[in-house]
Each structure stands twice: as structure tokens, then as C-alpha cells.
Chain A
Amino acid sequence: MSTNATSARAKLSLPVSERDHILGPEDAPVTLVEYGDFECPYCGAAHLIVKEVQKVMSNSLRFVFRHFPLTQIHPHAEVAAEAAESAGAQDRFWEMHDLLYANQQLLDPAHLVGFAEELSLDTVKFVRELRDHVHHEHVREDFTSGVRSGVNGTPAFFINGFRYDGSWEFGPLLKALEDGSVDANAI
């Protein structure tokens, strides 16, 4: 009865492109896409592991972060995602991404503006963009692409376009990524 969708690994419905936030070289053999929520504690834990994995794999890994805010259980997740995008519009997406994960309990608007100041952003522009929800569409597009790719919770990972359902503890994740790398080299 459970023969259809579960046996096939879910695929990333929206390919990685210029619209995405990308760390690592374009020609890296492995691409890891994460769908995450800044207020989700599991994502906070996974963030540290991804950092470690990035260090070890260095230029053989390309990392992409997309938003998947569960706004009804995480009241600050949406505004935090938009804050990261707004920082991104000022070329500081990853710095804000890291700050948000380091301060998961402090994602109210006042603290978000504090983070923008800490990153020396143009805070007037930052506040205006948050108020006008300038980046809402982009966040929603990320979310929808996740739903269409079979994301069923956060964090969700895709390795070279296929959903990774294994453990995201450091060892298993690194191994899966290195295996992905081998696959890519074999092709």
C-alpha cells in the first residue's frame, strides 16, 4: 500500500539558480540545499553541523539555504526570514543567517534591527523593507518550492537534488555528502 511515493526519493522541484543564496564554488561536486526555519531549534542544531561539514569539505561543497518558516508555530520565523533577505539585499545574507541562528530566542523586530546595526547595514532601508514585506514573495517562493519538493518539516536537506532522509548528525551527513561527491565524479 505504501509502494508509490515513499520508495522514490523526493526531488528538488526548483533547481538552484541565481535567485538562491549560495556558499561555495559553482562547480563543486556536491550541492547541499537546506530548507530551514530560524526559530526551529532543530535547524539551530543542524546549522552548527552544516558549518562543521563546510569546514571539512571546503571547496568540494556548495551550500544553499532556502526558507521554510512554520509561521503558525514559530511566530518570528517569517520576519526573521525576511530580515535575512533584507540583509541579503545589502550583500550580508550569510552574516545575518548566522546571527539569527546564534540568537534563536531573540527574533523579535527590535532585536532584528539590533542585528542589522551590528552588521552595519543601512537600517533605514532594512526597517522599511521589513515593514513593507518587500521580501515576503521570495520567502514564500522558497517555502512553496520546498512543499513541492516534498519537504515535510525542518530542517530538510537535498543532496545533489535528491532529498536526504538520513540523520543529519555530523558523521552520517558528511558521509552522505562525500558519497554524493563520489556519485558526481563517477558520472
Chain B
Amino acid sequence: MVERTDNENPNGGSALKAETTAPDFTLSSGADEKVSLSDFRGRPVILAFYPADWSPVCGDQMALYNEVLPEFKRFNAELFGVSVDGVWCHRAYREHRNLHFRLLSDFEPKGEVARTYGVYRDGEGVTERALFVIDGEGRIAWSYVSPIEVNPGADGILNALESLSGKEVANVDKRNKRESQTKSASL
């Protein structure tokens, strides 16, 4: 339990780990649009925190995720990029790079959501390059903080989604088994 408290009150940028409840948040995804994590209960959510729009590595990382979107969709997962950039900056960046997923502005109070996830870099005023896969019940299934200059790729995300869907399939199987047992019992 002590460990969990540490996770919920990250000190010095310790990212929330698997099995932790993902803190809910509401952030702007455009001038008139807001997104709350809790809106996505029932399906996996991928949060990709990145330091800034326009910086070269991010470009590659977001370009890559743009291409991998169909794979994420296979798992019915919703991807959000998150940085401290404002909505207009995000909009220009998204249009320029032709990104087909939403970018959230952790802009005011600056980096508040990143702080609650333990991935804010105080001295620099940007977020870590960090990935979170959150399950349909709002629990963190997997998290990873990459060295800030390294594009972490998408394999970790896909592995996490795969093991989540495996669990879901297993749960459905169990349910089906239970149901069929109940049925046969009632026959």
C-alpha cells in the first residue's frame, strides 16, 4: 500500500506503474473540444506523452503511430498524444503532419496531468517521453518511460494491447464456460 501511495504522489518523476489506477483527467483536444479519460471506459486507451510538437524525434514517433493506427484500432484502442503545447500549436502540428489521432494540451495548469502520471520534467517544463496503456476499467496495464531523445517505437504498446485482449478473451471464455455450465445444469 505504501508503494501505491508513492505512485499516486510521484516524487522526482517516478512514472505510474502497471496495476495503478490511471488518474482521470479532462484536457482540451481542440479549441472547443475536451476529452476525459473516463469517457473511454470499456476500451483500452494509449497515452503517449512527448516533450513537444515539432521536435524531430517526436515527429518520427507521432508519424510512426499515425501509421500504426490501424493496428491499434484492431484492439479497439484509442490513442492520444499528450504534451504541454497549446491547442493552436497542436492544431498546426496535426495538420502539417497529417496526424489522424488527437493531441491533448496539458497546458493550463501546465503539465498538471503529466505530474499526476509522474512524467513531468520540472527543470525543463516538458513531459517525459512516456507511454501508458490503460485497460477498459481505467487501470494502467503497462507503462514505459523512454530516454527523452529515443523514439520508443510501438512494439511495447502492441504487446500490452495483445496481452490485454488475451485476458479479455480468457475472461469471455470463462464467462461462456460458466454460462454453458449453468445452462447444462438447468437442463
Contacts and interface: CB of A to CB of B under 8 A. Distances in A.
A2 B153 contact: no
B19 interface: no
A70 B156 CA distance: 19
Contact of A153 (B15, B60, B99, B100): B60
Contacts, number: 58
A148 B155 contact: yes
Nearest to B14: A1
Contacts of A143: 67
B150 A6 contact: yes
Interface residues of B, number: 27
Contacts of A10: 153, 155
A147 interface: yes
Nearest to B130: A1
B66 interface: yes
| Main SS class of interface, A | loop
Interface of B: 13-15, 60-61, 63-64, 66-68, 71, 97-100, 144-147, 150-156, 158
Given A72-B97, A144-B71, A152-B152, 12 more contacts: A1-B13, A1-B145, A70-B63, A72-B67, A72-B100, A143-B67, A147-B155, A148-B155, A148-B158, A149-B155, A152-B151, A153-B63
Closest 8 CB pairs of A and B: A152-B153, A152-B151, A153-B60, A150-B155, A72-B98, A1-B145, A150-B153, A72-B66
